[in-house]
């Protein structure tokens, strides 16, 4: 569908209760503005909208909120915006608070985004695996991670088609310039579905607990232009370092200190170049795959560029 | 990007030649803890650098406590690296490493004004690790690329740090372009160099026969 067709469809939906006008007619009007008069589409939309408002004899605010931009899950990159989204409920999580009715993950072709539905909004129950058109949701951001919030004015329409949910897998390259605290041999809260990393033997939710050991790396890849934060889980960490969880525990036991594990990792990994691919979660790339870039480089193309400057 | 998650500063790629010219430092807010930037002559601010070179010398220059100085050489010049008690890992590395060795260093630019008024630029390392030739060569190519990108963007409208560099330094950019080209060419030489060595050896053998 072209942008004009899409806009025409949106306008048609907006006016469907007020006017008997077909999509083709709206499309023609838009085309005239855009193609003949070279008016930007959003301006054209406004003009066409005004025309039909006149025709229907209604004010702009009586139209309701038909004018939200329709977004793709992975493209949300601003907070506090009113948007529409058509997406599948790929995962439902246990709400941590009574004020939340449902929380989980929405997905479309572009990737996934977290959603929250407040108990106070009094909305219909969403089913896992079902595709919905959600009108009037608000985008939000927390620590670089975006989500959408459903609210009292949100419209929920079941859509009778399936969506193939895309993975927002990316590949990043750069020098590993930092291995951050919380890397190496760590302890996690053993409570079911918690898995928070313990700080001095304490879970921020469950207090002092007997933690379970895990191995991970939180690192920073830097290519001189951009910075990417990466997380390696136990498997990826072992792949890269050759150190298993059992060996890491042994190292820590021998040294009577768990920090030796991360120290050793810093010594062997920092300052080298890596390529990492995996899904993105907020500002992190979860490394499914990591390889060191140690094949010889060819400076020829840069040299040619330099000489031509 | 969000205000709640402070974004980490990128580690600039800069050759020693340009780094040592970056004598002007500044802060972007009055906050005492605001990051200190050095102004690169090719027009960028650097709060952190990543460099790879040959560690040629280490020396404990401290008086009361250990204070290690390392010389790290790249194709264009020498980085001076200082690590003391507040950089224990880096100081440790300088103490332990045998020279010469290829090292990768993440660190912050620092400047120091001597009594005669010259400003010395050095690196305060966050980490120092030993690396191999492939990593070092990759860095040289990458640093040449980034340097050329800065030079290309120098005259762009709205390039704030380039305008500032013009004001503060008045250094000819072609110098840094030349340095980048020399650095890239030096990589070729190392490869061809092996061949030349053999030739020379052959010649010597021929002569001695």
The CATH code of the domain that includes B146 is: 2.40.50.140
CA dihedral sign of residues A56, A60, A66, A68: positive
Instruction: Check residue A68 and give its pLDDT.
Output: 80
> For A231-263, what is each residue's pLDDT tens digit?
999 999 999 999 999 999 999 999 999 999 999
- Identify the three-state secondary structure at position A14: helix
* Domain extent at residue A291: 169-295
> Do residue A179 and residue A265 come from a single domain?
yes
> For A48-83, what is each residue's pLDDT tens digit?
988 888 888 877 766 655 568 889 888 888 888 889
Contact (CB, 8 A) for B10 and A225: yes
Instruction: Check residue B199 and give its pLDDT.
Output: 43
> Do residue A147 and residue A89 come from a single domain?
yes
The tokens for B178 are: 């030349």
Q: Which of residues 112-141 of A touch B (CB under 8 A)?
A: 141
Q: Which of residues 235-294 of A touch B (CB under 8 A)?
A: 263, 266-273, 283, 293-294
Instruction: Check residue B204 and give its pLDDT.
Output: 42
The tokens for B187 are: 């990589």
B206 touches chain A (CB under 8 A): no
Residue of B nearest to A77 (CA): B1
Kindly indicate the confidence band of residue B4, based on its pLDDT and cuts at 50, 70 and 90. Answer: very low
Domain membership of residue B202 (yes or no) is: no
Distance CA A265, CA A41 (A): 54
* Conformational region of residue A143, where left means phi above 0, alpha means psi within -120 to 50, and beta covers everything else: left
B140 touches chain A (CB under 8 A): yes
- Identify the three-state secondary structure at position A108: strand
A306 closest CB neighbour out of B2, B143, B180? B180
Please answer yes or no on whether A227 and B138 come within 8 Å at the CB atom: no
Domain membership of residue A128 (yes or no) is: yes
> Do residue A176 and residue A264 come from a single domain?
yes
Residue A233: closest CA among A273, A297, A289: A289
**CA-based nearest distance B158→chain A, Å:** 18
What's the total number of domains in chain B? 1
- Look at residues A105, A127, A158 and tell me which one is the last residue of a structural domain: A158
B33 touches chain A (CB under 8 A): no
Q: How many other C-beta atoms lie within 10 A of the C-beta of residue B165? A: 25
Instruction: Check residue A204 and give its pLDDT.
Output: 87
> Do residue A215 and residue A174 come from a single domain?
yes
Please answer yes or no on whether B1 and A271 come within 8 Å at the CB atom: no
The tokens for A89 are: 């409920």
* Domain extent at residue B68: 11-192
Please report, for the domain that includes residue A288, its CATH number: 2.40.50.140
pLDDT, averaged across chain A: 88
B13 closest CB neighbour out of A178, A224, A270? A224
The Cα angle at residue B22 between residues B16 and B24, in degrees rounded to 5? 160
B1 closest CB neighbour out of A144, A223, A271? A144
Domain membership of residue A184 (yes or no) is: yes
> For B148-184, what is each residue's pLDDT tens digit?
999 999 999 999 999 999 999 988 999 999 999 999 9
Contact (CB, 8 A) for B179 and B42: no
> For B51-99, what is each residue's pLDDT tens digit?
999 999 999 999 989 999 999 999 999 999 999 999 999 999 999 999 9
Residue A102: closest CA among A156, A159, A164: A156
Distance CA B184, CA B142 (A): 10
Q: What is the mean pLDDT of residues A112-137?
A: 92
Distance CA A4, CA A30 (A): 7
- Identify the three-state secondary structure at position B123: strand
Kindly indicate the confidence band of residue B195, based on its pLDDT and cuts at 50, 70 and 90. Answer: very low
Please answer yes or no on whether A297 and B12 come within 8 Å at the CB atom: no
B187 closest CB neighbour out of A220, A299, A305? A299
Contact (CB, 8 A) for A48 and A30: yes
């Amino acid at each position: 569908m072209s942008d004009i067709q899409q806009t025409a469809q949106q306008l048609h939906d907006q006016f469907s209760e007020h006017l008997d006008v077909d999509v083709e007619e709206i499309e023609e009007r838009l085309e005239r503005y855009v193609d003949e008069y070279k008016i930007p589409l959003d301006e054209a939309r406004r003009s066409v909208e005004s025309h039909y408002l006149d025709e229907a004899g209604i004010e702009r605010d009586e139209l309701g909120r038909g004018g939200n931009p329709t977004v793709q899950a992975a493209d949300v990159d601003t907070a506090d915006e009113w948007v529409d989204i058509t997406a599948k409920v790929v995962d439902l999580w246990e709400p941590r608070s009574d004020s939340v009715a449902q929380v989980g993950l929405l997905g479309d072709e572009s990737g996934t985004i977290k959603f929250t539905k407040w108990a106070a909004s009094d909305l219909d129950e969403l089913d896992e695996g079902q595709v919905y058109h959600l009108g009037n949701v608000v985008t939000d951001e927390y620590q670089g991670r975006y989500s959408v919030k459903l609210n009292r004015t949100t419209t929920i329409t079941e859509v009778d088609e399936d969506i193939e949910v895309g993975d927002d897998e990316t590949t990043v390259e750069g020098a590993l310039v930092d291995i951050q605290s919380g890397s190496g041999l760590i302890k996690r809260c053993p409570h079911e579905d918690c898995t928070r990393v313990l700080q001095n033997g304490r879970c921020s939710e469950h207090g002092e607990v007997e933690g379970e050991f895990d191995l991970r790396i939180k690192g920073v890849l830097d290519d001189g232009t951009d910075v990417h934060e990466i997380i390696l889980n136990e498997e990826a960490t072992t792949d890269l370092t050759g150190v298993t969880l059992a060996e890491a525990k042994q190292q820590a036991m021998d040294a009577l200190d768990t920090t030796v594990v991360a120290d050793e990792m810093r010594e062997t990994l920092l300052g080298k170049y890596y390529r990492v691919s995996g899904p993105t979660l907020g500002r992190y790339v979860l490394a499914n795959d990591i390889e060191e870039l140690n094949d010889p480089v060819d400076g020829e193309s840069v040299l040619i560029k330099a000489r031509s400057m | 990007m969000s205000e709640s998650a402070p974004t980490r500063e990128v580690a600039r790629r800069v050759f020693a030649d340009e780094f040592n010219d970056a004598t002007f430092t500044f802060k972007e807010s009055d906050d005492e803890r605001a990051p200190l930037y050095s102004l690169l002559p090719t027009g960028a601010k650097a709060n952190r650098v990543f460099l790879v070179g040959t560690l040629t010398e280490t020396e404990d220059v401290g008086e009361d406590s250990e204070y290690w100085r390392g010389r790290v050489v790249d194709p264009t010049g020498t980085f001076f690296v200082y690590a003391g008690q507040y950089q224990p890992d880096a100081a440790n590395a300088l103490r332990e490493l045998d020279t010469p060795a290829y090292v990768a260093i993440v660190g912050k630019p620092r400047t120091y004004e001597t009594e005669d008024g010259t400003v010395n630029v050095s690196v305060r390392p966050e980490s120092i690790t030993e690396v191999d030739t492939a990593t070092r060569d990759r860095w040289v190519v990458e640093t040449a690329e980034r340097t050329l990108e800065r030079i290309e963007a120098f005259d762009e409208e709205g390039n704030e740090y380039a305008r500032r560099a013009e004001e503060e330094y008045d250094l000819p950019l072609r110098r840094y372009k030349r340095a980048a080209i020399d650095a890239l060419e030096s990589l070729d030489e190392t490869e061809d160099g092996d061949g030349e060595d053999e030739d020379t050896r052959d010649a010597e053998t021929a002569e001695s026969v």
